[in-house]
Amino acid sequence: MSGIPANRDSFGSRFGVIAATAGSAIGLGNIWRFPYVAGENGGGAFLIIYLGFILLIGIPVMLSEFTIGRSAQRNVFGSFRKLAPGKPWYLIGLMGVGAAFMILAFYTAVAGWTLEYIFQSVINGFEGLSSNQLNDMFYSFIGTPWRPLLWFFVFMALTGAIIMSGVQKGIEKYTKILMPMLLVLLFILVVRSVTLPGAASGISFLFKPDFSKITPTTILEALGQAFFSLSIGMGTLITYGSYIQKNDNLGNTAVSVAFADTFIAILAGLAIFPAVFAFGIEPGSGEGLVYITLPNIFLQMPGGYIFSLMFFILLGVAALTSTISVLEVIVAFFSEELGLKRKAATWLATSSVSILGVMCVLSSSTMADVKIFGFTVFNLMNFTSANILLPLGGFFIVIFVAWFLGRDGAKEELSNQGKLKVRYIPFYMFVIKFLAPLAIAFIFLQGVGLINFS
Ligand code: PHE
C-alpha cells in the first residue's frame, strides 16, 4: 500500500494516550448531547440503560477497536485491509470514514455555537435577560445564517490547523491541563445548580427512573448516545489505537476513559437538570437545552461573568479535542491510502466535510424546510450517525475481533505479547462473541422498527 511512512507518528506517554483518548470521548457529547437526549427520553430510566450499555457494550467495543488499531498500525480502512487481506472487512473501514464525515459536519456546527457563547460572555450579552429572552437569543442566533456559518469555519480551521501539525506536540500537551480544568468548573456549576430553589425536581428527574417512558426508540437512543459519547463504532479508537505504543495496557486505558467520560456526563446532567426545573425550561427542548440553561445559571451566580467565560472556553476546548479525533480518522485515511501528504490530506478533508457542514449550519435557517426522511440535514446527520452507523460499526468491529482475529489474536495484543496478565479475556470473549452483537442487533432492529417484540 502506498504512502505509509516508516516512522508513523505515535503518542509520547501513557498519560498522553489517556489525555488524547479521553479528550476524544469527552466533549459536546457529554455536556451538550447527553442532557438533551436524556431530557427527551424520560431522564432517570434513560440514564440507567445508558450506564448498562457503557459497561456491557461500550467498553468491549472500545477494547476491540484498540486491539485492531494497535495490531495493524494503520488508519481505519487500512487496518482491516492489513488484518484481513482480500476480504470485504475493509467495508467497515469505509463506513467509519463516512460516519466521520457526518459527525464532523454537525458537530463542528455545534462547536461553533460555543464560540458565539464565548463572544457573548465577553461582551456580557446575557446580562439582565430573562429565561425566555435567553431562549429567544439562542434561536435567533442559530436562525441567522451568517453568524453560525462564520463560527463553523473558524472552528473547522482550528481543527485543521492542529491536525496538520501532527499527533503529539499540540493537543497531547494541552489536553493534560485543560481537561482537569473543565472538571473543576463543572463541579462549581453543579454546586450552584443543585442549590437553586426548586432544584430537587431536576435531581429526581435525572435519578428517579420512570420505566413507563421507555420505548424501543428510547433504548436505541441510549445505545447511540453510549457509542457517540465514547467515540466508538467508527474507528476513531482504531486510528488512535494505531498510535498507542506496544507496552501500554489497553484494558486499563479503556476502563479509565469510559469511567471519566461517564462521570463527566453525569456531572453535566447534574448541572443542567436542576436549573431546567428551577427556571421552568422544558427538559425535552432539544439541542438548545445547554445553551439556554447555562446562561440562566451564570446570571444567578456571583462572579457569573467570569465563570461563563471560562466555561464556554473550556467547552470549546473539549469540543476541539473531539473534532480533531474525528478529523484524524479521515486525514489518516486520505494520507495513508491516497498517499497524500498530511497537509494536503487535511485540506481535502476539511473542505469536503465543510460542504456537508454548511448544510448542517443552515438547517436552522435557510434550509430549515429541507427535510430528508422527515429530518433536517443537521438532525439526519446527528440521528443517523449516532443511532445507526455507530452501532452498526460496533457490531461488525466486535464480530471481527471475536470471530476473525479470535481469542488468540485478541489475547496476543491485549496482553502485550504475553507480558500482561489478562484475566478478563474469557469474559471479554464471551461478550464480544455473543452478548454485544446480539444486544446491538436486537436493539437496533427493534429501535428502527424492523422487528417488534414489545
Ligand atoms: N465522543 C465525542 C463527544 O462525546 C464525540 C465523538 C463521536 C468523537 C464519535 C469521535 C467520534 O463529544
Mutate to test the pocket of ligand 1, among 326, 327, 353, 388 (most ligand atoms within 8 A of CB): 326
Mutate to test the pocket of ligand 1, among 325, 327, 330, 384 (most ligand atoms within 8 A of CB): 325
CB distance 433 to 403 below 8 Å: yes
Confidence (pLDDT) at 302:
82
Quote the CA–CA distance of 9 and 264 in Å, as a whole number: 29
Confidence (pLDDT) at 165:
79
CA of residue 303 to ligand 1 center, whole Å: 31
Domains within the chain, CATH numbers bracketed: 14-381 (1.10.4160.10)
Q: Whose CA is nearest to atom 6 of ligand 1?
A: 231
pLDDT band at 1; cut points 50, 70, 90:
very low
Report which ligand 1 atom has the smallest distance to the Cα of 25: 1
Confidence (pLDDT) at 181:
83
pLDDT digits (tens, 9 = 90+) for 72-122: 999 999 999 999 999 999 999 999 999 999 999 999 999 999 999 999 999
- CA distances (Å), 145 to each of 125, 151, 318, in order? 19, 11, 25
pLDDT band at 407; cut points 50, 70, 90:
very high
Mutate to test the pocket of ligand 1, among 97, 228, 388 (most ligand atoms within 8 A of CB): 228
CA of residue 276 to ligand 1 center, whole Å: 24
pLDDT band at 7; cut points 50, 70, 90:
low
The dihedral region occupied by 286, where left means phi > 0, alpha psi between -120 and 50, and beta the remainder, is: left
- CA distances (Å), 341 to each of 4, 59, 409, in order? 10, 34, 32
Model's pTM, two decimal places? 0.94
pLDDT digits (tens, 9 = 90+) for 375-403: 999 999 999 999 999 999 999 999 999 99
Quote the CA–CA distance of 321 and 325 in Å, as a whole number: 7
Average pLDDT, the chain: 92
Quote the CA–CA distance of 403 and 34 in Å, as a whole number: 33
Q: Whose CA is nearest to atom 11 of ligand 1?
A: 231
pLDDT band at 304; cut points 50, 70, 90:
confident
Quote the CA–CA distance of 432 and 438 in Å, as a whole number: 9
CA of residue 322 to ligand 1 center, whole Å: 6
Q: What's the half-sphere exposure (Cβ side, CA atoms, 13 Å) at 231?
A: 34
Mutate to test the pocket of ligand 1, among 231, 236, 266, 320 (most ligand atoms within 8 A of CB): 231
Confidence (pLDDT) at 168:
66
Residue 335 cell numbers, joined: 494520507
pLDDT band at 171; cut points 50, 70, 90:
low
Least confident stretch, 68-72, 150-154, 365-369: 365-369
CA of residue 430 to ligand 1 center, whole Å: 27
Confidence (pLDDT) at 213:
85
pLDDT at residue 451 greater than cutoff 70: yes
Residues with C-beta less than 6 Å from any ligand 1 atom:
24-25, 27-30, 103, 228-229, 231, 236, 322, 325-326
Which tops the pLDDT comparison, 207 or 10? 207
- CA distances (Å), 173 to each of 12, 21, 293, in order? 10, 13, 32
